[in-house]
């Protein structure tokens, strides 16, 4: 299908994969399509409607009756469209589609849609394999002009492994590209494709019920079967086609700017098999990289060990220890417009790491610790030094730090902000059972100098990332 000139309605339902819909929207626009968006209330909890409105340059159809809303949006939006894409499609909205329930913008548009429909499920593997979801997906595959894309196997946001991942945005666009040209409100089946010759496949289940058993090419057989593969490659996030590059779009606010992120955790060796570390999963850094990239920034990451995967257009340098991260950041500092210190860096390391495994003698063991370099403070000091050397003419560079606290939040945040010299500090408290390390939500507040310490609030890590990106853009002017 030639996407140029096509009108696509993007339905977004609530799940952690919502942030990938932002990238999908940009990819569709790069192909020449015009995109409008409708969202469920749950989706707005993950990504603000303003993000989609800004990217699509059109008000988002919401249930709460935005000022721009018209009384017949549930008819006007799908009638306008050549194609209705629902990405991500949660178990809840899939159930509504299958049962004829229409009580939110996404399901209302599905009900009144007369154009072809493509649905991309995304959910936990247990939900995806539940009898109810399997039944509902089979019902949808029987609907006229409705295609259900297969969910590839891999590591899920919850840390489990199996089916339920959202098909990557670039794969969805490539799948649409493989189909024959659209006629008016008709979405024909794709021409026969020799997958072996193409070198890649896009697993899907069509209305006829045919299902491809070929796993995504980036997955091993163990991943495709839901197992936990040994030495498996990182699952990709936001793979971007060669002709898609947000950093080349001059209309985006981050065009021509470069940001450096630290990510993950550091590991400080005790001996060849033991180390001191923490529980950081890297999810916050991935959200930051994704939002910066979607806004046109060139993104470079210095990442310690972590489980989450970065967008395909992001440059990632891997390190292990705090000293390695320090050296990597300082060597890149002068070339960037902004630095966001998101990594959970170990404050201390063993003074001496044993060359061989320390044997278990059941006797008391004492490990002497020495402080690691403070990467944030060294960055602000280097910035101040450059400004002095250049007589104040050095270009503006924004530095944002993170403060993870478990008590006396405001006092500790104020002290760290003053000592660090950063332009802002993201105060967060990842200690609740349903937030913080490994979760998609966290309690946080963005702290600025001389502005008081705001109360922390619970939000998604994508919301956190958007707030930081907005701050950086304002600071850079």
Catalogue the active-site residues: 158
Q: What kind and span of H or E run contains 155?
A: strand 153-155
Q: Please check whether residue 158 is in contact with residue 165, taking contact to mean a CB–CB distance below 8 angstroms.
A: no
Contact 74/105 with Cβ under 8 angstroms? yes
Q: Please give the angle made by the CA atoms of 23, 27 and 28, to the nearest 5 degrees.
A: 120
Three-state DSSP class for residue 84: strand
Name the burial class of residue 143, with classes exposed (0-12), middle (13-18) and buried (19+) by CB atoms within 10 angstroms of its CB. middle
List, in order, residues 6 or more apart from 299 with CB less than 8 Å away: 258, 259, 261, 289, 292, 293, 311, 313, 314, 315
Instruction: Render 9-59 in DSSP notation, one character per residue.
Output: EEEE-SSTTHHHHHHHHHHHHHTT-EEEEEE-HHHHTTS-HHHHHHHHTS-
The tokens for 398 are 């924004």
d(CA 361, CA 439): 38
Residue 311 DSSP code: B
CA distance 82 to 184: 7
Long-range Cβ contacts of 248-253 (<8 Å, 24+ apart): 249/26, 249/30, 249/296, 252/295, 252/296, 253/295, 253/296, 253/473
Q: Using alpha carbons only, give the angle 148, 153, 158 rounded to the nearest 5 degrees.
A: 105
Which residues are within 8 A (CB) of 445 and not within 5 positions of it... i.e. 6 or more apart?
Answer: 413, 426, 427, 428, 453, 454, 455, 456, 457
Residues 412, 109: Cα–Cα separation, whole Å? 49
Strands 369-371 and 204-205: unpaired
List CB contacts of 31: < 8 A, sequence separation 6 or more: 3, 4, 173, 177
Give the H or E element holding residue 74.
Answer: helix 73-80
């Amino acid at each position: 299908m030639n996407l140029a000139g096509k009108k696509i309605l993007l339905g977004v339902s609530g799940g952690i994969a919502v942030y990938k819909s932002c990238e999908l929207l940009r990819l569709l626009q790069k192909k020449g399509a015009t995109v409008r968006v409708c969202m469920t209330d749950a989706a707005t909890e993950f990504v603000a409607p303003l993000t989609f409105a800004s990217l699509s340059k059109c008000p988002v159809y919401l249930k709460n009756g935005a000022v721009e809303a018209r009384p017949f949006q549930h008819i006007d939006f799908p009638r306008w469209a050549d194609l209705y894409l629902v990405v991500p499609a949660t178990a809840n909205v899939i159930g509504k589609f299958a049962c004829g329930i229409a009580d939110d913008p996404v399901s209302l548009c599905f009900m009144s849609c007369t154009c072809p429909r493509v649905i991309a499920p995304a959910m936990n593997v247990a939900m995806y394999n539940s009898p109810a979801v399997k039944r509902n997906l089979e019902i949808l595959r029987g609907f006229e002009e409705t295609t259900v894309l297969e969910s590839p196997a891999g590591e899920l946001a919850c840390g489990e492994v199996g089916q339920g991942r959202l098909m990557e945005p670039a794969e969805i666009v490539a799948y649409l590209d493989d189909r024959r040209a659209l006629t008016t409100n008709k979405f024909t089946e794709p021409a026969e494709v020799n997958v072996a010759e193409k070198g890649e496949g896009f697993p899907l289940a069509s209305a006829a019920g045919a299902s491809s058993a070929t796993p995504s090419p980036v997955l091993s057989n163990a991943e495709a079967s839901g197992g936990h593969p040994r030495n498996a490659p990182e699952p990709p996030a936001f793979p971007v086609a060669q002709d898609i590059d947000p950093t080349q779009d001059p209309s985006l606010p981050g065009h021509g700017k470069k940001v450096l992120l630290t990510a993950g955790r550091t590991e400080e060796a005790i001996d060849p098999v033991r180390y001191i570390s923490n529980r950081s999963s890297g999810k916050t850094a991935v959200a930051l990289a994704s939002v910066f990239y979607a806004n046109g920034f060139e993104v470079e990451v210095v990442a310690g060990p972590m489980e989450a995967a970065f967008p395909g257009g992001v440059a990632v340098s891997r390190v292990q220890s705090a000293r390695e991260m320090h050296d990597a950041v300082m060597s890149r500092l002068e070339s960037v417009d902004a630095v966001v210190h998101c990594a959970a860096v170990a404050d201390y390391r063993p003074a001496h790491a044993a060359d061989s495994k320390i044997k278990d003698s059941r006797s008391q063991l004492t490990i002497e610790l020495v402080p690691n370099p403070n990467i944030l403070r060294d960055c602000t000091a280097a910035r101040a030094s450059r400004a002095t050397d250049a007589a104040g003419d050095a270009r503006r560079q924004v530095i944002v730090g993170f403060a993870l606290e478990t008590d006396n939040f405001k006092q500790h945040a104020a002290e760290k902000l003053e000592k660090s010299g950063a332009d802002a500090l993201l105060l967060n408290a990842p200690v609740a059972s349903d937030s913080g390390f490994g979760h998609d939500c966290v309690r946080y507040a963005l702290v600025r100098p001389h502005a008081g310490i705001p109360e922390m609030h619970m939000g998604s890590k994508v919301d956190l990332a958007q707030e930081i990106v907005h701050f950086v853009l304002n600071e850079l002017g």
